[in-house]
Amino acid sequence: AQSVTQLGSHVSVSEGALVLLRCNYSSSVPPYLFWYVQYPNQGLQLLLKYTSAATLVKGINGFEAEFKKSETSFHLTKPSAHMSDAAEYFCAVYDKIIFGKGTRLHILP
C-alpha cells in the first residue's frame, strides 16, 4: 500500500539557514507528489507539485524539492529561512490520496 513518511515532526532552523524537510514515499512511484504548507488557523496551500516532467521542482516562496527515485524521496529545501516560513508542511501523494503527518518548522531568530 502507498504510504508517505515525513521524518521529524518538528524541525528548528536559524533565520538565514538552510531548510530541509524530509519526505519518503513507498516503493511504487506515484504519479504525483506534492508539498503543502499550513499557516496557523488556515487551510493548506500548495507549495509545489512533481509530475515526472522534471526531477527538480521549484515552488512558491523560494522552496524547491527534488524527486529521487533511487531513494524514494521528495525532500523540500529552501536555501535561506525566513521568519515567515514558520508553519506546518505536509508531503502528499496522489495515487491513493495520502498525506504525511506533517513537519512543523520553527525559525529561530
Q: Check residue 87 for interaction with other proteins (CB under 8 A).
A: no
Q: Which stretch binds other proteins (CB under 8 A): 18-26, 60-68, 78-86, 89-97?
A: 89-97
Question: Which residue in 49, 64, 77, 86 binds other proteins (CB under 8 A)?
Answer: 49
CA distance 19 to 53: 24
The one segment of 14-22, 42-50, 64-72, 78-86 that binds other proteins by CB under 8 A = 42-50
User: What secondary structure does DSSP assign to the chain, as a single string?
Assistant: ---EEEE-SEEEEETTSPEEEEEEE-SSPPS-EEEEEE-TTS-EEEEEEE-SS-SEEE-GGG-EEEEEGGGTEEEEEESS--GGG-EEEEEEEETTEEE---EEEEEE-
Applying CB under 8 A, among 46, 54, 60, 108 the residue interacting with other proteins is 46
> Which 57-86 residues touch other proteins, going by CB under 8 A?
none
**Interacting residues toward other proteins by CB under 8 A:** 9, 32, 34, 36, 41-46, 49, 90, 92, 94, 97-102
